[in-house]
Structure 1
Amino acid sequence: MQRLLRPGWVHAGAWTLATGAAVTLSWFGVHTVLAGTAYDPPRALPVHDVPSPRADPQSSSTHRPKPPSPTPTPTREQPRKPAGDEKKNRTHEAAPPPSRSPSPSRTPPSSGSVRGATVPGGRAVFDLGSSSASLVSATPDEGWNMRIWNTPDWIRVTFTNGDTQSSVFCRWDASQPRIETFTG
């Protein structure tokens, strides 16, 4: 009887070892591929320093027609009923339906031209107006830190990595806004 059971156990053990080896080999292959995949957030698209001519789009999936100007609707005043008749003649009036037209989004118009500067450590983009400027975006390179200062006359963006430091200044203290870069 033991002779008949022994080949069955040998086959089951061999199958278990072969299956375990195949699963292990497959797992290490998949794990290596997944470990090499980058799941970093997308980087910001660069802003060109030179303005380029743009054509207006022919159509847009988000284009909505302008809502008609609201016209005042006449309101009817109903005579007030005596207090005793209120419970007998109570009617439920439906509330007016909410307006379905979307409110137009209010985006402040750009006050000037958008200019960017790239330094070792990152990039800063400013909206330059006639007498002031605002920071649009600042993006540090990988491994760099960033710090921003805002004052009434200038904006400073500094990128640091250990002892290395780069700065982008946007100044409008005595003239129109201008961008200056410093590396060190």
Structure 2
Amino acid sequence: MRNGLVQLGAWAAATGAAVALSWFGVHAVLTGAAFEQPTALPLPSPAAGGARSPVASAPVPTPPQEPSTPRPESSGPTPAPASSTTQRSAAAPGTPPASRRPAPTTATTTAAAAPTATSTVRSYPVPGGKVALDIRPDNASLVSATPDPGWQMQVWNGPQWMRVDFTKGDQANSVFVAWNGHPPTVETVVR
């Protein structure tokens, strides 16, 4: 019995020493490491009324470097195009009654990004989710893709294109981005 207790005590002491030594070694490395903060990119505010639109709302540009540029010029016209776009697209697709099944249709919208010196984050809502893209003069990158409840999302990337799909049952809606030798173009397909 005494021999078993001695072995148990030796094992506990060795294990405790190993854990303490490992912790101090790892702790010293982790406290000395500098972790980079994630970059937060500004997103445009959602359109009023809650209606989903396959057309992008107006972009919110990143803050300019020169303080002499007046702010109202860049944010003044933003609400008007977004609300008129929402009204137009909300009337176009219509909502079929829940009792009958609508025929599959394809609605396509294309928005070309104007070349600028800085990047601009744009949000593209489609039925099933929302995609936020960082559009630059020569490429685009995915900021976020958020599916609505009950929908699934999948992303495909190529060297000069990107595709984000939102699926639910037999419904599938997509956001395509391409920049093959031209400024990025965004196309939303609602099926």
Does TM, scored on the shorter chain, surpass 0.5?
Answer: no
> Looking at CA atoms only, which structure, 1 or 2, has the larger radius of gyration?
1
The TM-score, its normalising length taken from structure 1, stands at 0.42
Q: Whose RCO is larger (CA < 8 A, sep 6+)?
A: 2
